């Protein structure tokens, strides 16, 4: 029994007009899933049966994976009615599956099958799959190195920026000395420090931590400062009449009140620090995804470059997601304005 007929049966017992409508809607959903499945099966067939012009590995593996995925989509379209909750969750992605299948087919046709796109600059999908299967160890090692470097730099920069921001918001004397320095150095792109940092620090790795930290610290400091400065003065009045000490005013009033701003600063700092991370890895650090990218370019290994690029974007996106999750947790008292 199909999803459509199952819904229709339920509808008939309800209300005739509404039942017909519901059945038409779920029929459309099933048709979409079937179409997406067909596209993926078509992609598998095209990959397997249309001979490649050049020599790229892992074609059959990709074809079989695509065929299994297409088969699952078809099965989902036919029998999704038996697992309504899972079907409902998958249904949101069906249009994406369909479009992705078309995209992969087009990519395959214009690269490995017809070389419409110039080779070797645009490798086919199964060349990328080959990289993931054969070079995963080196890729994983690069990801680990990149995350380690990024986290060390980001943590150092975020902590420094946070402390500077709180001090700027709280102490006039600190502001007098720190503000001009911040205005001078802050807007300078950290990359500009690169040549100096690489010889001033004992290793290019420690220099990179410094540069990532510098990039992160500036927006975090500015936003923390503005957060502390914009705290409603009535909060201080309330706390003071209840017997709060200056330390209580800083740690229990000013900082929690400023946290929404701090997270905006952290988000900006994180985004900016990715640019420094990749540049530093390309210019001097002998590890990480930036280094992998550079190395792949040296060998004209274009499939490796695209693979590294894809992993890099997943890594950056993942780190931003983590930050947003942390924010939602820490600021759970708020109604979130921006969903990531």
Partner 1 sequence: MVSAALKSAPASAGVEIAIRDVSHSFDLEGAPLPVLENVSLTAARGEFVALLGPSGCGKSTLLRLVAGLEPPTKGEVAADGQRISGPDPSRVVVFQDPTLFPWRNVRDNVSLGLEAQGLLKTSGARIDATLRLVGLENFAKAFPHQLSGGMAQRVALARALVNDPELLILDEPLGKLDSLTRLSMQGEIVNLWRRAGFTALLVTHDIEEALLMATRVVVFSARPASIKADIRIDKPYPRHRDDPDLVARRREILTLLGLDASW
Q: Judged by CB under 8 A, which of 92, 172, 333, 338 binds partner 1? A: 333
Stretch of residues binding partner 1 (CB under 8 A), selected from 195-203, 239-247, 294-302, 318-326: 239-247
Q: Judged by CB under 8 A, which of 118, 187, 243, 246 binds partner 1? A: 243
Is the Cβ–Cβ distance between 52 and 62 less than 8 Å?
Answer: no
Q: Judged by CB under 8 A, which of 6, 48, 147, 244 binds partner 1? A: 244
The three-state secondary structure class of 153 is helix
Count of residues touching partner 1 (by CB under 8 A) = 22
Q: Judged by CB under 8 A, which of 237, 318, 322, 336 binds partner 1? A: 237
Between residues 137 and 234, which has the closer beta carbon with respect to partner 1? 234
Residue 36 binding partner 1, by CB under 8 A: no
Residues in the chain: 340
Q: Judged by CB under 8 A, which of 17, 173, 184, 234 binds partner 1? A: 234
Between residues 78 and 331, which has the closer beta carbon with respect to partner 1? 331
Cis-peptide, bond into residue 290, ω within 30° of zero = no
Q: Angle at CA 300, nearest 5°, toward 297 and 302?
A: 80
Between residues 27 and 259, which has the closer beta carbon with respect to partner 1? 259
Q: Judged by CB under 8 A, which of 238, 300, 310, 336 binds partner 1? A: 238
Closest to 5 measured CA to CA, from 23, 17, 22 = 23
Q: Maximum Cα–Cα distance for the chain, whole Å?
A: 81
Euclidean distance between CA atoms 48 and 313, whole angstroms: 29
Residues 6+ apart with CB under 8 A from 27: 4
Q: Judged by CB under 8 A, which of 245, 313, 317, 321 binds partner 1? A: 245
Is the Cβ–Cβ distance between 220 and 158 less than 8 Å?
Answer: yes
Residues 6+ apart with CB under 8 A from 184: none
Residue 113 binding partner 1, by CB under 8 A: no
Residue 336 binding partner 1, by CB under 8 A: no
Interaction site with partner 1 (CB under 8 A): 232, 234-235, 237-245, 248, 252-253, 256-257, 259, 331, 333-335
């Amino acid at each position: 029994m199909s999803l459509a007929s199952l819904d229709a049966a339920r509808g008939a017992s309800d209300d005739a007009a509404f039942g017909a409508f519901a059945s038409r809607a779920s029929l459309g959903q099933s048709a979409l899933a079937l179409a997406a499945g067909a596209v993926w099966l078509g992609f598998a067939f095209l990959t397997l049966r249309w001979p490649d012009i050049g020599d790229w590995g892992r074609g059959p593996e990709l074809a079989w994976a695509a065929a299994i995925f297409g088969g699952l989509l078809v099965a989902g379209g036919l029998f999704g009615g038996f697992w309504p909750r899972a079907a409902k969750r998958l249904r949101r992605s069906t249009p994406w599956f369909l479009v992705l299948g078309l995209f992969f087919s087009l990519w395959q046709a214009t690269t490995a099958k017809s070389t419409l796109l110039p080779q070797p600059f645009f490798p086919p999908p199964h060349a990328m799959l080959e990289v993931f299967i054969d070079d995963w160890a080196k890729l994983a090692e690069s990801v680990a190195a990149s995350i380690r470097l990024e986290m060390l730099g980001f943590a150092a920069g975020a902590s420094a920026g946070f402390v500077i921001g709180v001090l700027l918001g709280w102490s006039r004397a600190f502001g007098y000395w720190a503000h001009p320095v911040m205005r001078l150095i802050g807007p300078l792109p950290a990359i500009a420090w690169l040549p100096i940092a690489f010889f001033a620090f004992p290793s290019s790795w420690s220099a990179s931590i410094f540069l990532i930290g510098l990039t992160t610290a500036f927006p975090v400091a500015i936003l923390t400062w503005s957060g502390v400065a914009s705290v409603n003065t009535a909060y201080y009045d309330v706390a003071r009449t209840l017997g709060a000490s200056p330390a209580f005013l800083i740690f229990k009033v000013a900082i929690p009140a400023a946290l929404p701003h701090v997270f905006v600063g952290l988000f900006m700092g994180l985004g900016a620090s990715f640019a420094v991370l990749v540049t530093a890895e390309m210019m001097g650090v002998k590890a990480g995804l930036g280094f992998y990218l550079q190395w792949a370019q040296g060998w004209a290994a274009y499939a490796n470059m695209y693979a590294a690029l894809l992993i890099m974007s997943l890594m950056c996106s993942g780190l931003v997601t983590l930050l947003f999750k942390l924010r939602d947790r820490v600021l759970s008292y708020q109604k979130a304005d921006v969903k990531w």
